[in-house]
Structure 1
Amino acid sequence: MSSLRAKIQDVFNEPACEQNRDKDAKARKKGCSKPLTPGAAAGGCAFDGAKIVLQPITDVAHLIHAPLACEGNSWDNRGAASSGPTLWRTSFTTDLTELDVVMGQGERKLFKAIREIKEAYGPPAIFVYPTCVTALIGDDIEAVCKRAAEKFGLAVVPVNAPGFVGSKNLGNKLAGEALLEHVIGTVEPDDAGPYDINILGEFNLSGEFWLVKPLLDRLGIRVRACIPGDARYFDIACAHRAQAAMMVCSTALINLARKMEQRWGIPFFEGSFYGITDTSEALRQISQLLVKKGADPEILGRTEALIAEEEAIAWKKLAGYRPRLEGKRVLLNTGGVKSWSVVHALMDIGIEVVGTSVKKSTVEDKERIKQILKDDNHIFEQMAAPELYAMLSEHKADILLSGGRTQFVALKAKTPWLDINQERQHPYAGYDGMVELVRQIDLAIQNPIWCQVREPAPWDCQPAVREELPRTKSETVTLHAVQEFSGTTAPDFGEC
């Protein structure tokens, strides 16, 4: 536990983060994450963050050393996609019970589970995740993993990020520390070249990195490791031989990028593949870093030629949407890199951004937003559901772009909604991804259902006055009997 405490303090003291450098020594030790209330960390604890970062490594077995509920609540928490192995889609847990805790059988059960996975699946590595229960009872995860690795001849990686140590973002960084300590640099590639790069913080949600990789392939740039999206264990183990790196989401793995630069001299920059302008700029910066590391300068010319060709194609496809979407107002309720990259992308085609949240954004992200929007009034630190509903119900936005948690706020306000967070069903990265994003926005806004749901309900309409036909004597007696029994006369509603 003392080693975990030291690791957490090291992660908090992140010199690559400008916001952290501006703090005094005492404030720096506290980090950026708010302390968690015990029992209130579900869905946002450190274990959840570590699992998010590492689970997309597709050929690895992910073993949760905990009661069954820990794995049940964290499984498949990202919509990452794989081009090959499917082992990461299988859940593994030691299913610790009260009897195991009382009798001290946790470590024995973990060793047995590692052996069963090795015999049944033969993966190149097994990642072991302790959670609150196993960390509190003192199971020595690192010792068991070390013994199992020697016994079974495969990598067994302890991921020391139990939920109670902090927030999800802290778990992201602890997962990066596990890769640095146990995986990266453990295998020497025999095909290292001057055009090898790493992509860090890219999760390949809905397969969107597959829209970007062909662009790099056309430039002769090889992705040595994409961490973690659609990754393979041995690719990550060889990642230390890349020549440059691009950081897609700094709040998640900036410690990984910085320490790889310190240990192996791999320069990195933070960029985005969302939007035409940002995709082009990312390709330029990758090429420039490779040239600084010794690659042939002719790649710069080829990059500009590729950018010109792809931008022309993308703008031609977007031209048909501009008359339908220009001037439409978008409210963006997300965070991180999307808080500024998607803003830039939408403004490229004439869509007005009336607000964007920066709850999970860094200081650098906020500065980028200010430069793009040029108005602080459109930036919200946190947007509660009532405030969000008020904006939408007052028709201050034509569509809400957010995650699944706020979709029902938009539906209640009878406003179109589009998912752009990790649960999304469509890829939005790269040039083709930008076209797809605009297409989905257009489909959502122009959907005729919104005209129908905004019409008054039939029961809210005024009853129509209609001349009644003469009734027979028996019908009149029956009608009076019904009215006398019910005490009221039911109105006759006409058409709305």
Structure 2
Amino acid sequence: MSLLRAKIQDVFNEPGCEKNRGKDAKARKEGCSKPLIPGAAAGGCAFDGAKIVLQPITDVAHLVHGPLACEGNSWDNRGAASSGPTLWRTSFTTDLTELDVVMGKGERKLFKAIREIKEAYGPPAIFVYPTCVTALIGDDIEAVCQRAAEKFGLAVIPVNAPGFVGSKNLGNKLAGEALLKHVIGTAEPDDPGPYDINILGEFNLSGEFWLVKPLLDRLGIRVRACIPGDARYVDIAGAHRARAAMMVCSTALINLARKMDERWDIPFFEGSFYGITDTSDALRNISELLVKQGADPEILGRTELLIAEEEAIAWKNLAAYRPRLEGKRVLLNTGGVKSWSVVHALMEIGIEIVGTSVKKSTVEDKERIKQILKDDNHIFEQMAARELYAMLSEHKADILLSGGRTQFVALKAKTPWLDINQERQHPYAGYDGMVELVRQIDLAIQNPIWCQVREPAPWDCQPAVREELPRTKSETVTLHAVQEFSGTTAADFGEC
């Protein structure tokens, strides 16, 4: 536990984090968030964050050492996609029970589970995740993994990120530390080249990195490792031979990018593949960084030709949507890099941004938003469901872009909604992804269902009373009874 505590303090003191550098020494030691309560940290703890970062490594086994519920709560919590191996989709857990804890069987059960995975699946590596329970009872995960690696002849990597040590974001960084200590640099690629790059913090949600990789292939740029989206263990092990790197989400793996730069001279920049302009800028920055690292400068000219060609196609495809969407108001309830990259992308085609959240966004993210929107009134740290509903029900936005948690707020307010978080079904990265995003927004806003749901319900409408048809005594009594029950008058019984 003392070693784990020291490692956590080291991650807290991340010099590459702008937010961390802005704190005094005392606040920096306390970290980014307060420690969570053991047993009450499900869905936002360090264990969850570490699993998010490492699970998309597709050809390894991910073994959770703890109670069954920990694996059940964390399995497949992002919509990452794989182009090959499916082992990462299989859940492995030691399923620790109260009896195992009392009898001290945790370490033996873990060793046995590693052996069974080795014999049944033969993966190149096994990632082992301790949880709150196994960390509190003192199971020596490092020793078990080392012994298993020697015994079975494969890499067994301990990921020391039990849930109670901190937030999901801290777990992201601890996962990066595990890769640095046990994986990256352990294998030498046989064909390193001057155009090799790493992409960090890209999860290949809905397969959207597959819309970007063909662009890099056309430029002769090879992705040595995409961490973690659609990754293979051997690619990550040889990632130290890349010449440059692009950071997609700095809040998750900034420590990984910085330390790879320090150890292996792999410079990096932060960019985005959302939107036409940002995608073009990312391609330019990658090429420029490679040239600084010794690549042939002719790649700069080829990059500009590719950008000009792809932008012309994208703008031509978007032209059909501009008359239908120009001036439409969008509210974003997301965070991180999407808080500014999606904003910039939508403003390119004339969509108005009435608000964007900056939850989980870095200081640099917030500065970008301010430069794009030119108005702090459209930026909010977080918005309660009641406030969100009030804004939508007052028709201050034509559509809400958010994650699945707030979709029912939009539906209750009878407002179109589109998922842009990790559960989304459509890829939005790159030039084609931008066209797809605009197409989905157009489909959502123009859907005829909204005209129907906004109309008064049939039971709120009553047929008009015709004067030329005299009522019988029984009809008059019934009408008065209905009026008395509903609180209406005869004048209310007209057409809706």
Quote the Cα distance in structure 2 between the aligned partners of 1:493 and 1:481.
13
**1:453 Cα deviation from its structure 2 partner:** 0.5
The answer on whether the counterparts of 1:59 and 1:233 sit within 8 Å (CA) in structure 2 is: yes
CA contact (8 A) 1:272 1:337 kept: yes
Greater CA drift, 410-419 or 26-35: 26-35
Residues 384-463 of structure 1: pairs in structure 2 closer than 5 A: 384-463=384-463
Answer whether contact 1:161 1:171 (CA < 8 A) is retained: yes
Classify the secondary structure of the residue corresponding to 1:491.
helix
8 Å contact from structure 1 (residues 458, 495) kept in 2: no
Matched-pair contact (CA < 8 Å) for 2:35–2:164: no
| CA shift digits 1:407-446 (9 cap, x unpaired) | 0010011000000000000000000000000000000000
What is the alpha-carbon root mean square deviation over aligned residues? 2.8
Change (3 A) 1:119 1:451: same
User: What's the CA shift for 1:35?
Assistant: 3.6
Deviation at 1:33, TM superposition (A): 2.4
CA change 1:492–1:397 in 2 (3 A) is closer
What CA distance in whole angstroms lies between the structure 1 residues aligned with 2:482 and 2:438? 58
Cα drift, residue 74 of structure 1: 0.7
Q: Distance in 1 between matches of 2:383 and 2:476?
A: 60
1:34-91 superposed Cα distances (whole Å, 9 cap, x missing partner): 4434443221000000000000000000000111111111111000000000000000
Q: Verify the 8 A CA contact 2:36 2:163 in the aligned structure 1.
A: no
Partner deviation per Cα, 1:278-314 (whole Å, 9 max, x = no partner): 0000000000010000000000000000000000000
Task: State the alpha-carbon separation in 1 of the partners of residues 235 and 39 from structure 2.
Answer: 37
Q: Deviations over 1:344-393 (max 9, x none)?
A: 00000000001000011000000000000000000001111111111101
Deviates more, 1:275-284 or 1:476-485: 476-485
**Once the 2 structures are TM-superposed, how far is the Cα of residue 157 of structure 1 from its aligned partner?**
0.4
The match for 1:126 is 126
Cα distance 1:467–1:131, how it changes in 2: closer, same or farther (>3 A)?
same
Name the residue aligned to 2:5: 5
Distance 1:347 1:470, change over 3 A: closer
Contact 2:39/2:132 (8 A) holds in 1: no
Superposition deviation, residue 31 in structure 1: 2.1
- Separation in structure 1 between the aligned mates of residue 352 and residue 479 of structure 2, nearest angstrom: 60
1:240 aligned partner: 240
* Counterpart-to-counterpart distance in 2, 1:484 and 1:213: 68
Q: Classify 1:477/1:359 alpha carbon distance in 2 versus 1 (closer, same or farther; 3 Å).
A: closer
Structure 1's 207 and 488: CA in aligned 2 closer, same or farther, altered over 3 A?
closer
* 1:76–1:89 CA contact under 8 A, matched in 2: yes
Shift of 1:485: 16
In the alignment, the residues of structure 2 paired with residue 480 and residue 392 of structure 1 have an alpha-carbon distance, to the nearest angstrom, of: 38
Change (3 A) 1:95 1:481: closer
For residues 329 and 481 of structure 2, the distance between their equivalents in structure 1, rounded to whole angstroms, comes to: 58
The alpha-carbon deviation at position 24 of structure 1 amounts to 1.8
Task: Provide, for residues 204-248 of structure 1, a one-character-per-residue CA deviation record: whole Å limited to 9, x for no partner.
Answer: 000000000000000000000000000000000000000000000
**Contact conserved, 2:18 with 2:362, CA < 8 A, in 1?**
no
Shift of 1:472: 12
CA contact (8 A) 1:354 1:397 kept: yes
Partner Cα distance (1:487, 1:311) in 2 = 61
* Alpha-carbon distance between aligned partners in 2 of 1:240 and 1:471, rounded to the nearest angstrom: 89
Q: Assess if the C-alpha contact under 8 Å between 1:33 and 1:169 holds in 2.
A: no
Q: Measured at CA, do residues 413 and 488 of structure 1 come closer, stay the same or move farther in structure 2, by a change above 3 Å?
A: closer
Indicate conservation of the 8 Å contact 1:198/1:227, yes or no. yes
Distance 1:462 1:482 in 2: 11
Deviation at 1:486, TM superposition (A): 16
Aligned length: 496
Partners of 1:355 and 1:474 in 2: CA distance: 57
Q: How far is 1:264 from its partner?
A: 0.4
Give the whole-Å Cα distance in 2 for the aligned partners of 1:305 and 1:38.
55
CA contact 1:464–1:492 (8 Å) conserved in 2: no
Identity %: 94
Distance 1:471 1:266, change over 3 A: closer
Between 479-488 and 67-76, report the one with greater CA deviation: 479-488
Structure 1 residues 35, 478: closer, same or farther in 2, change over 3 A?
closer
Query: Aligned equivalents of 1:474 and 1:260: distance in 2?
Result: 87
Aligned-partner Cα distance in 1 for 2:488–2:339: 57
Deviation (angstroms), 1:32: 2.0
Greater alpha carbon shift after TM alignment, 47-56 vs 463-472: 463-472
1:18 is displaced (CA, Å) by 2.1
Q: Cα deviation per residue 1:183-222 (whole Å; 9 max; x = unaligned)?
A: 0000011100000000000000000000000000000000
Tell me the distance in 2 between the aligned counterparts of 1:256 and 1:278: 23
Structure 2 CA distance for aligned equivalents of residues 411 and 36 of structure 1: 33
Aligned equivalents of 1:437, 1:116: Cα separation in 2: 44
Is the 2:131–2:161 contact (alpha carbons within 8 Å) kept by the matching residues of 1?
yes
The alpha carbon displacement at 1:467 in A equals 7.7
User: Contact 2:57–2:228 (CA<8 Å) still a contact in 1?
Assistant: yes
How big is the shift at 1:23?
2.0
Inter-CA distance 491–297: structure 2 relative to 1 (3 Å threshold):
same
The alpha carbon displacement at 1:30 in A equals: 1.6
Distance in 1 of aligned mates of 2:484 and 2:400 = 52
Q: In 2 relative to 1, CA 191–390 (structure 1 residues): closer, same or farther, beyond 3 Å?
A: same
Mapped to 1, the partners of 2:220 and 2:2 lie a distance apart of 46
CA apart distance, 1:26? 1.3
- Go from structure 1 to structure 2 and tell me whether the alpha carbon gap of 1:473 and 1:386 turns closer, same or farther (over 3 Å shift): closer
Contact 2:185/2:238, CA 8 A, preserved across alignment: yes
Q: Residues of 1 paired with 2:302 and 2:484: CA distance?
A: 88
SS in 2 for 1:272: coil
Deviations 1:320-360 (Å, cap 9, x if unpaired)?
A: 00000000000000000000000000000000001000011
1:22, distance to aligned residue in structure 2 (A):
2.4
Do the aligned partners of 2:56 and 2:230 also contact (CA within 8 Å) in 1?
Answer: yes
What is the deviation of 1:469?
8.7
In the alignment, is the contact (CA less than 8 A) between 1:200 and 1:245 conserved in 2? yes
For residue 466 of structure 1, report the CA deviation from its aligned partner: 5.3
Measured against aligned partners, the alpha-carbon deviations of 1:111-138 in whole angstroms (never above 9, x if no partner) come to: 0000000000000000000100111111
Contact 1:463 1:492 in 2 (8 A): no
Alpha-carbon spacing, 1:456–1:2, altered in 2? closer, same or farther (3 Å): same
Give, in whole Å, the separation in 2 of the partners of 1:293 and 1:283: 16
TM-score (norm 1): 0.95
In the superposition, relative to structure 1, how do residues 457 and 298 fare at CA in structure 2: closer, same or farther (>3 Å)?
Answer: same
- Cα pair distance change 1:238/1:454, threshold 3 Å: same
Provide the rounded CA distance (Å) in 2 between the counterparts of 1:49 and 1:139.
21
What is the deviation of 1:487? 16
Q: In the superposition, relative to structure 1, how do residues 488 and 378 fare at CA in structure 2: closer, same or farther (>3 Å)? A: closer
- CA separation of 1:110 and 1:492: change in aligned 2, threshold 3 A: same
